[in-house]
Chain A
């Protein structure tokens, strides 16, 4: 597609439920990033995928968070047993390659509200 797409746009869930967020990167982009933006905060790095290499999960805040990506395609971010502090906008970005710094292109985000 023309840009990074994410779904759903908005998600309201109850505390304790699991949620799954989806990201479709720009076609041909090998690097994919997940970030979180909580109210009044900057973006926090969560996880990074580069091709078929092992992902960098160093930003995941707890073991309730996990993400998968198959090859250079769609990625899903899963939050298990959601808590109110998980409420945030979850942003996905992709870039052409890695190893050298490349511009990241961001999706519109998924706004998650945990009641």
Chain B
């Protein structure tokens, strides 16, 4: 079975700082990768996803993530965070040939951006 590890449970940054949230997965085959975000009081939303092709994926709100197959990683980055980026971020994976796309999630990283 696959698993997902997110390195940081809490991250605190000042506005304009750069962000990198780590995500590593364990699975022997080909995977599809996702980052979801949950803003305070809102439901889970898709931030970006990787299915195939260019391993550098750009998502909404200036976020990007890079799939590094050799490292089993899919780290999330943003060059300059804003106060409105305060949220909980979840990395998720599903095997490409699972037949359906049940997601396995990491435990989440809570990002707090101070103004």
Q: Which A residues fall within an 8 A CB radius of B? A: 3-4, 31, 33, 35, 40-45, 48, 50, 56, 59, 91, 93, 95, 98-99, 101-109
A95 to B46, CA, bound (A): 12
- B27: which A residues are within 8 A, CB to CB? none
CB-CB < 8 A to A101: which residues of B? 32, 51, 94, 96, 98, 101
Chain B hits for A102, CB < 8 A: 101
Residue on B nearest A91 in the bound complex, by CB: B44
Q: Interface of B with A (CB < 8 Å)?
A: 4, 6, 9, 32, 34, 36, 42-46, 49, 51, 90, 92, 94, 96, 98-108
Q: B43's contact among A44, A56, A107, by CB below 8 Å, is which?
A: A107
Top 5 A-B residue pairs of the complex, sorted by shortest distance between their CB atoms: A42-B105, A106-B44, A98-B100, A108-B43, A43-B105
Cβ contact within 8 Å between A42 and B107: yes
A59, B103: Cα distance in complex, Å: 12
The residue from B36, B102, B105 contacting A48, defined by CB atoms under 8 A apart: B102
Pair A104/B103 contact, Cβ less than 8 Å: yes
The reply to whether A45 and B45 form a contact with Cβ atoms under 8 Å apart is no
Given known contacts A91-B43, A106-B44, what 5 new A-B pairs fall within 8 Å (CB)?
A31-B101, A42-B106, A43-B92, A45-B102, A50-B100
Cβ–Cβ contact A31 & B90, under 8 A? no
Question: Across the interface, do B100 and A48 meet the contact criterion of CB distance under 8 Å?
Answer: yes
Complex interface: chain A residues within 8 A of B43 (CB):
3-4, 91, 106-109
Inter-chain contact B101/A98, CB cutoff 8 Å: yes
Minimum C-beta distance from A101 to chain B (A): 4
Residues of A contacting B6 with CB < 8 Å? 42
- A-B contacts, 8 of them at CB < 8 A, read A42-B90, A42-B105, A43-B103, A44-B105, A101-B32, A106-B45, A108-B42, A109-B43
In the bound assembly, the distance between CA atoms of A44 and B105 in angstroms comes to 7
